[in-house]
């Protein structure tokens, strides 16, 4: 096996991984940084983020407002000290991206423009039309080329971490083009592999979003935190789940049921007004909007289409010219994929899985409990999203915590000595053997389970048990099903036996990752006996229970068995848990909170 | 532990032989490029005329007579068709060669640029024809 | 869903370097519905007919740039090309033209990446600015000037559409030229003089013969052919100005 000696290894070259690499390179140009990605960096799923990235800029806005929106939006299960740090850093990071060339949309005077977003009290979402993630990713990728100490491993697939003496000391990768293994030795490792939305059936995610980093850390004993909180985005394309950005509503789009009625007013988000009002109606948070859809469906007030029930996202009143300027990608998606001209006809939409709020447990410095291991971005749980992430906080998170992870990993790398190559290689060889046995198989027999069949059954059971609303019985069925699939996975058939670009093999490894992550999600969900944010139960636990569950769940890997779930404290600094309300009720609740604070 | 596995990569490079026949767009491109020869041919004919003019009246008249022959007229018809085609494709490609043009704050579309070019050609052709007509009568 | 299941023949150019000496065509019969993309057709093949078929894909929504391939000889993003448009005759899918085939529909893109890295695709500030000073001011008009060229998703369809690149892969090519141009005309950037070296080079813009197909196949309206041709003018200007301007004033 080849060995590459790095100081820092970064797994994943999306927004967080690239930002971390740049930060590490700037912190200490002497350090050799290995930036590993299973796809070329610009293919990473950051590319698909549309609406924008948060950062307080307006004079009538404040960090406190952003803090309160985020903590309230997360239903108070956020790490408040981390949120405080986050909101204070967002704007600087957005400016940094601007200096690196990000084509932010501008106001006529040349300053950057901001738009309204769901659950945000004041407009603070920086945007580059409706291709914000695309522009951020390409800006970061292209800027990263400036730094000679960043050595990229494009299209290298990571199969394992190498842990010795209680700290992570490297990673094992497969070069996709050759099928060859390399041990990348590193004194610190940053995981920035993104989310795991593909474990669900209908989702907005790219095919690569398979929870690889989460699973790798998890298998090495790092807990996955708050995995039960999975975000359904309310406006997605039926069937494929492709995303119609929240910016559609930020720009004034309306949600209508089959009677053309703005149904959100029936779910505590009203009153319905002609003009968009922040934190109300269509500008409510994603969990509430997806839940409202579910109820409309139960009441038979949705429209039935071949790919399931839909409601209408109505942008007609915004006019073609404005839509082409602000939402050009949305316009084309509707035209090309649905044959709908959004200036003439409302777009049919339904909720789909979009984001994993939880992830690898890390502290405010992005450090996991495993020494030398850091995580940033969607794969991590740094604690800012709580039970429901607000739109435009995730792109900001990539930058803020990508940078933190890069700096911290660089510091750590300086503080430790390189490991013993021979013994690390021995471990790496074990990892290689495990990965290869998926193809060669121990018993030498042909596997009997199709990868696609297992994947499909997993995605279906996750949707059935861990959807927008959850029941104990169906969650139990999901847990059982995942356990069954994990057993059947041992008998998986990798048809392709070749070395060059064997995607069949890589898909099988990914499926293994997905099953572990799915299991953590399902067990975390069934154990949370309350309703909070994106985790809503209908089996006697309909209310939030701060007495018993104002806590983070932590799933611990248990090999063959079910994960062990325990709980960690939630850090509260200045916002005591209160009523989470939106629309007129939300304004009233906010006033009461302010009055109470002044007493 | 096994040694480093052999590299089994063997990228395959496809031949470019006959590339221009593989796509109608390229066929059209080749015809467009080919039609430039007809433009050159006509320029040559005019140059010969100029040469004959310098050689005296008889030579000039001989050239004019040659132009009136049926073969020459047929040839000119072919030239005309080729040049019209060349002009058409030339203006079609023109938008990608020009910097953005703004009219009243709005960017001129590719079709508008092509149409503008064709219209200008038509207009100058008609004017030229009228001028020659006037001079000739 | 009362739609009757239709079957479409999909011919795929296979190349498995460990078993094929040259690419071979293989036909699959794929059941489809009218909303299915070519990519979804390939996914069906991989999932249920032949797990050894390899191709790149990810976002499914024409923004990640992974899934470029030749569909009936035309460079296309398979995620936004639809099977219904080829029914009942069927279609042929091949790896992107002009690139070496690594395997099946996967091409070797090292050349593209090396070019991308070589053109300094980042802001070289005209006037450095600290974060405290806030953003550079840039009017919507100044932004619009380069926005189109910044929309390139690196899908490389334009390279598959460029016969000059096919004949001589040293040619810088349309997509990378668009990226270079994007930075040169950004009001924040002052690195044009450094990048003109790449434009003027032997295999810079003048390898282009204005075929124009690159701009035609671009799925994101980048018009890379425009970037190449505008830089022919820039390059000519650069060349002549060198005679006029005393040394060192050309920036």
pLDDT tens digits, one per residue of A439-496? 998 888 889 999 999 999 999 999 999 999 999 999 999 999 999 999 999 999 999 9
What are the tokens at A22?
């740049």
Nearest CA in chain B to C168: B16
| Residue A99 annotated as catalytic | no
CB pair distance less than 8 Å for A109 and C139 = yes
Nearest CA-CA distance, residue B97 and chain A, Å: 25
Is the CB of C64 inside 8 Å of chain B's CB atoms? Answer: no
The mean pLDDT value of chain C amounts to: 94
C-alpha to C-alpha distance for A501 and B8, rounded to whole angstroms: 10
C-alpha to C-alpha distance for A538 and A531, rounded to whole angstroms: 8
C-alpha to C-alpha distance for A414 and A426, rounded to whole angstroms: 25
Q: What average pLDDT does range A136-141 have in this prediction?
A: 98
Q: What average pLDDT does range C16-26 have in this prediction?
A: 97
Q: Looking at beta carbons, which residues of chain A come within 8 Å of C146?
A: 103
Q: What average pLDDT does range A349-358 have in this prediction?
A: 98
CB pair distance less than 8 Å for A178 and B1 = no
ipTM: 0.96
C-alpha to C-alpha distance for A42 and A143, rounded to whole angstroms: 12
CB pair distance less than 8 Å for B5 and A179 = yes
Of the candidates A249, A262, A286, A535, the residue annotated as catalytic is A249
- Which of C64, C76, C191 should we substitute to test contact with A (largest number of A Cβ atoms within 10 Å)? C64
pLDDT of A343 reads 98
pTM: 0.96
CB pair distance less than 8 Å for A180 and B4 = yes
CA–CA distances in Å: residue A526 to residues A233, A483, A537, C26: 22, 14, 9, 47
Minimal CA–CA distance to C180: which of C192, C168, C164, C162?
Answer: C192
CB pair distance less than 8 Å for C102 and B26 = no
A residues 21-40 lying closer than 8 A (beta carbon) to C: 39-40
C-alpha to C-alpha distance for A547 and C211, rounded to whole angstroms: 71
Nearest CA in chain A to B7: A178
Is the CB of C71 inside 8 Å of chain B's CB atoms? Answer: no
Pick A500's closest partner by Cβ from B1, B4, B8. Answer: B8
Distance, CA of A488 to chain centre: 28
A residues 232-261 lying closer than 8 A (beta carbon) to C: 239-240, 242-243
Q: What average pLDDT does range A252-278 have in this prediction?
A: 96
Q: Looking at beta carbons, which residues of chain A come within 8 Å of B8?
A: 178-179, 498-500
Q: Looking at beta carbons, which residues of chain A come within 8 Å of B5?
A: 178-181, 499
pLDDT, tens digit, 9 for 90 and up, residues C130-142:
999 999 999 999 9
Q: What average pLDDT does range A415-438 have in this prediction?
A: 96
Q: Looking at beta carbons, which residues of chain C come within 8 Å of A502?
A: 52, 54
C residues 100-119 lying closer than 8 A (beta carbon) to B: 100-102, 108
C-alpha to C-alpha distance for C104 and C56, rounded to whole angstroms: 10
Nearest CA in chain A to B1: A429
H/E stretch holding A566: strand A564-569
Is the CB of C24 inside 8 Å of chain B's CB atoms? Answer: no
pLDDT of B3 reads 46
pLDDT of A556 reads 98
Give the pLDDT band (50/70/90) at residue C2. Answer: very low
Q: Looking at beta carbons, which residues of chain B come within 8 Å of C145?
A: 100
Pick A206's closest partner by Cβ from C59, C108, C129. Answer: C59
C residues 141-200 lying closer than 8 A (beta carbon) to B: 145, 163, 166-167
Nearest CA-CA distance, residue B56 and chain C, Å: 42
A217 contacts A191 by C-beta, under 8 angstroms? yes
What are the tokens at A524?
């975390």
Give the pLDDT band (50/70/90) at residue C239. Answer: confident
- Which of B97, B102, B104, B109 should we substitute to test contact with C (largest number of C Cβ atoms within 10 Å)? B97
Backbone angles phi, psi at C65, to 5 degrees: 80, 15
- Which of A21, A56, A58, A95 should we substitute to test contact with C (largest number of C Cβ atoms within 10 Å)? A95
pLDDT at A598 > cutoff 80: no
pLDDT at C1 > cutoff 50: no
Give the pLDDT band (50/70/90) at residue A249. Answer: very high
Residue A277 DSSP class: -
Residues above pLDDT 90, as percent of chain B: 86
C-alpha to C-alpha distance for A524 and C100, rounded to whole angstroms: 47
C residues 29-88 lying closer than 8 A (beta carbon) to A: 33, 35, 46-48, 50-52, 54-66, 80
Of the candidates A19, A124, A201, A233, the residue annotated as catalytic is A233
pLDDT, tens digit, 9 for 90 and up, residues B20-60:
999 999 999 999 999 999 999 999 999 999 999 999 999 99
CB pair distance less than 8 Å for B8 and A426 = no
Residues above pLDDT 90, as percent of chain C: 92
Distance, CA of A10 to chain centre: 18
pLDDT at A358 > cutoff 90: yes
Give the pLDDT band (50/70/90) at residue C240. Answer: confident
For the beta carbon of residue A371, count every other beta carbon within 10 angstroms: 15
Q: Count of CB contacts below 8 A, A vs B?
A: 23
H/E stretch holding A114: strand A114-115
CB pair distance less than 8 Å for B5 and A180 = yes
Q: Looking at beta carbons, which residues of chain C come within 8 Å of A111?
A: 135, 137
Give the pLDDT band (50/70/90) at residue C247. Answer: low
Residue A599: half-sphere exposure toward Cβ, Cα within 13 Å = 6
pLDDT of A67 reads 98
C-alpha to C-alpha distance for A120 and A130, rounded to whole angstroms: 18
Q: What average pLDDT does range A1-10 have in this prediction?
A: 97
B82 contacts B104 by C-beta, under 8 angstroms? no
Cα four-point dihedral sign C49, C50, C56, C59? positive
- Which of C16, C57, C63, C118 should we substitute to test contact with A (largest number of A Cβ atoms within 10 Å)? C63
Q: Looking at beta carbons, which residues of chain C come within 8 Å of A18?
A: none
Distance, CA of A323 to chain centre: 27
What are the tokens at A301?
């007030």
| Residue A249 annotated as catalytic | yes
C8 contacts C40 by C-beta, under 8 angstroms? no
Strands A347-356 and A230-236: antiparallel
CB pair distance less than 8 Å for C16 and A500 = yes
CB pair distance less than 8 Å for A99 and C146 = no
Is the CB of C181 inside 8 Å of chain A's CB atoms? Answer: no
Q: Looking at beta carbons, which residues of chain C come within 8 Å of A304?
A: none
pLDDT at A82 > cutoff 80: yes
Return the domain boundaries, chain C.
6-107, 110-244
Q: Looking at beta carbons, which residues of chain A come within 8 Å of C50?
A: 495
Is the CB of C17 inside 8 Å of chain B's CB atoms? Answer: yes
pLDDT, tens digit, 9 for 90 and up, residues C221-237:
999 999 999 999 999 99
Residues above pLDDT 90, as percent of chain A: 96
C-alpha to C-alpha distance for A220 and A213, rounded to whole angstroms: 11
With residues binned 3-state (H G I as helix, E B as strand, rest as coil), the percentages for chain A, rounded to 5, are: 40, 20, 40
Q: How many helices (H) and strands (E) would you count in chain C?
A: 9, 7
Backbone angles phi, psi at A435, to 5 degrees: -65, -40
Is the CB of B37 inside 8 Å of chain C's CB atoms? Answer: no
Q: Looking at beta carbons, which residues of chain A come within 8 Å of B1?
A: 1, 425-426, 429
Chains near C (3 or more Cβ pairs under 8 Å) = A, B
pLDDT at C3 > cutoff 80: no
User: Is residue C84 helix, strand or coil?
Assistant: helix
Nearest CA-CA distance, residue A547 and chain C, Å: 42
pLDDT of C250 reads 45
H/E stretch holding A167: strand A167-175
Q: Looking at beta carbons, which residues of chain C come within 8 Å of B23?
A: 73-74, 213
pLDDT of A594 reads 83
pLDDT, tens digit, 9 for 90 and up, residues A139-150:
999 999 999 999
pLDDT, tens digit, 9 for 90 and up, residues A192-203:
999 999 999 999
Backbone angles phi, psi at C94, to 5 degrees: -130, 160
pLDDT of C243 reads 78
User: Is residue A112 helix, strand or coil?
Assistant: strand
C-alpha to C-alpha distance for A287 and A425, rounded to whole angstroms: 46
Q: Specify the CATH number of the domain C110-244.
A: 1.10.1060.10
Q: Which fold has domain C6-107?
A: Ubiquitin-like (UB roll) (3.10.20)
C-alpha to C-alpha distance for A474 and B130, rounded to whole angstroms: 86
Give the pLDDT band (50/70/90) at residue C251. Answer: very low
A134 contacts C63 by C-beta, under 8 angstroms? yes
pLDDT at C53 > cutoff 80: yes
């Amino acid at each position: 096996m080849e060995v590459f000696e790095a100081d820092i290894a970064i797994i994943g070259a999306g927004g967080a991984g690239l930002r971390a690499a740049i930060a590490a390179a700037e912190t200490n140009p002497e350090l050799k940084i290995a930036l590993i990605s299973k796809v070329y960096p610009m293919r990473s799923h950051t590319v698909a983020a549309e609406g924008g990235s948060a950062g307080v800029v307006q004079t009538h806005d404040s960090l406190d407002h952003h803090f309160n929106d985020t903590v309230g939006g997360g239903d108070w299960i956020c790490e408040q000290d981390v949120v405080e740090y986050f909101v204070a850093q967002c704007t600087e990071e957005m400016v940094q991206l601007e200096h690196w060339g990000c084509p932010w949309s501008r106001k006529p005077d040349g300053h950057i423009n901001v738009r309204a977003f769901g659950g945000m009290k004041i407009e603070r979402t920086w945007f580059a039309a409706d291709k914000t993630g695309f522009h951020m990713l390409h800006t970061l990728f292209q800027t990263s080329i400036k730094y000679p100490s960043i050595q990229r491993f494009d299209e290298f697939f990571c199969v394992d971490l190498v842990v010795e003496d209680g700290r992570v000391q490297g990673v094992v990768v497969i070069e996709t083009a050759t099928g060859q293994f390399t041990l990348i030795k590193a004194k610190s490792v940053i995981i920035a592999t993104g989310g795991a939305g593909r474990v669900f059936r209908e989702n907005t995610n790219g095919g690569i979003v398979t929870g690889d980093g989460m699973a790798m850390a998890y298998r090495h004993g790092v807990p996955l935190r708050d995995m039960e909180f999975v975000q359904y985005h309310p406006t997605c394309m039926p069937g494929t789940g492709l995303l119609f950005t929240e910016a559609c509503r930020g720009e004034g789009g309306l949600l209508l049921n089959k009677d053309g009625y703005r149904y959100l007013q029936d779910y505590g988000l009203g009153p319905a007004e002609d003009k968009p009002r922040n934190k109300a109606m269509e500008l409510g948070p994603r969990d509430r909007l997806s839940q409202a859809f579910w109820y409309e469906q139960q009441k038979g007030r949705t429209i039935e289409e071949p790919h399931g029930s839909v409601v209408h996202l109505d942008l007609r009143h915004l006019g073609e010219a404005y839509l082409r300027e602000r939402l050009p990608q949305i316009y084309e998606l509707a035209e090309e994929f649905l044959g709908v001209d959004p200036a003439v006809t409302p777009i049919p939409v339904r909720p789909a899985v979009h984001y994993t709020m939880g992830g690898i447990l890390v502290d405010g410095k992005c450090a996991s409990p495993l020494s030398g291991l850091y995580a940033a971005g969607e794969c991590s749980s740094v604690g800012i999203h709580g039970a429901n992430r607000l739109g435009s906080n995730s792109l900001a998170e990539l930058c803020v915590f990508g940078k933190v992870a890069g700096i911290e990993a660089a510091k750590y790398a300086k503080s430790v000595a390189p490991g013993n190559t021979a013994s690390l290689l021995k471990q790496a060889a074990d990892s290689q053997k495990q990965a290869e046995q998926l193809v060669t198989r121990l018993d030498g027999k042909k596997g009997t389970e199709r990868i696609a069949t297992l994947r499909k059954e997993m995605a279906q059971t996750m949707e059935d048990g861990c959807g927008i609303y959850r029941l104990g019985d169906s969650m139990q069925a999901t847990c059982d099903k995942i356990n069954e699939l994990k057993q059947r996975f041992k008998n998986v058939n990798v048809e392709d036996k070749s070395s060059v670009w064997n995607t069949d093999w890589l898909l099988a490894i990914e499926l293994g990752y997905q099953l572990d992550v799915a299991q953590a999600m399902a067990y975390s969900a069934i154990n949370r006996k309350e309703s909070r944010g994106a985790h809503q139960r209908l089996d006697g636990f309909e209310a939030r229970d701060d007495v018993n569950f104002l806590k983070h769940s932590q799933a611990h890997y248990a090999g063959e068995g079910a994960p062990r779930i325990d709980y960690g404290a939630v850090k509260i600094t200045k916002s005591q848990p209160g009523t989470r309300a939106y629309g007129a009720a939300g304004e009233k609740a906010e006033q009461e909170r302010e009055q109470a604070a002044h007493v | 532990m096994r040694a480093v596995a052999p590299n089994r990569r063997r990228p395959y490079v496809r031949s470019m032989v006959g590339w221009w026949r593989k796509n109608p767009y390229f066929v059209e491109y080749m015809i467009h490029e080919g039609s430039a020869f007809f433009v050159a041919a006509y320029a040559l004919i005019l140059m010969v005329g100029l040469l004959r003019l310098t050689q005296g009246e008889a030579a000039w008249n001989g050239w004019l007579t040659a132009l009136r022959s049926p073969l020459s007229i047929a040839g000119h018809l072919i030239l005309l068709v080729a040049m019209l085609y060349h002009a058409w494709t030339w203006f079609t490609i023109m938008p990608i060669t020009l910097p953005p043009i703004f009219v009243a704050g709005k960017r001129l579309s590719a079709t508008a640029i092509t149409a503008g070019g064709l219209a200008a050609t038509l207009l100058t052709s008609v004017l030229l024809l009228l001028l020659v007509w006037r001079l000739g009568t | 869903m009362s739609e009757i299941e239709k079957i479409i023949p999909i011919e795929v150019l296979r190349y498995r370097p460990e078993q094929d000496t040259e690419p071979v065509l293989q036909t699959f019969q794929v059941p489809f519905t009218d909303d299915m993309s070519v990519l979804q057709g390939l996914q069906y093949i991989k999932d249920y007919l032949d797990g050894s078929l390899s191709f790149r894909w990810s976002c499914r929504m024409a923004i990640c740039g992974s899934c470029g391939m030749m569909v009936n000889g035309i460079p296309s993003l398979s995620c936004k090309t639809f099977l219904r448009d080829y029914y009942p005759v069927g279609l042929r899918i091949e790896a992107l033209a002009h690139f070496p085939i690594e395997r099946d529909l996967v091409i070797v893109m090292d050349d593209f990446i090396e070019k991308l890295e070589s053109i300094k695709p980042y802001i070289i500030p005209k006037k450095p600015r600290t974060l405290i000073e806030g953003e550079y001011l840039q009017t919507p008009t100044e932004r619009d000037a380069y926005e189109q060229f910044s929309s390139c998703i690196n899908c490389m369809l334009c390279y598959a559409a460029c016969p000059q690149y096919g004949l001589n892969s040293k040619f810088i090519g349309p997509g990378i030229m668009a990226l270079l141009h994007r930075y040169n005309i950004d009001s924040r950037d002052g690195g044009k003089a450094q990048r003109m070296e790449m434009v003027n080079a032997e295999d810079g813009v003048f390898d282009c013969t204005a075929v124009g197909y690159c701009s035609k196949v671009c799925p994101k309206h980048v018009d890379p052919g425009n970037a190449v041709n505008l830089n022919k003018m820039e390059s000519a200007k650069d060349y002549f100005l060198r005679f006029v301007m005393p040394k060192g004033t050309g920036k």
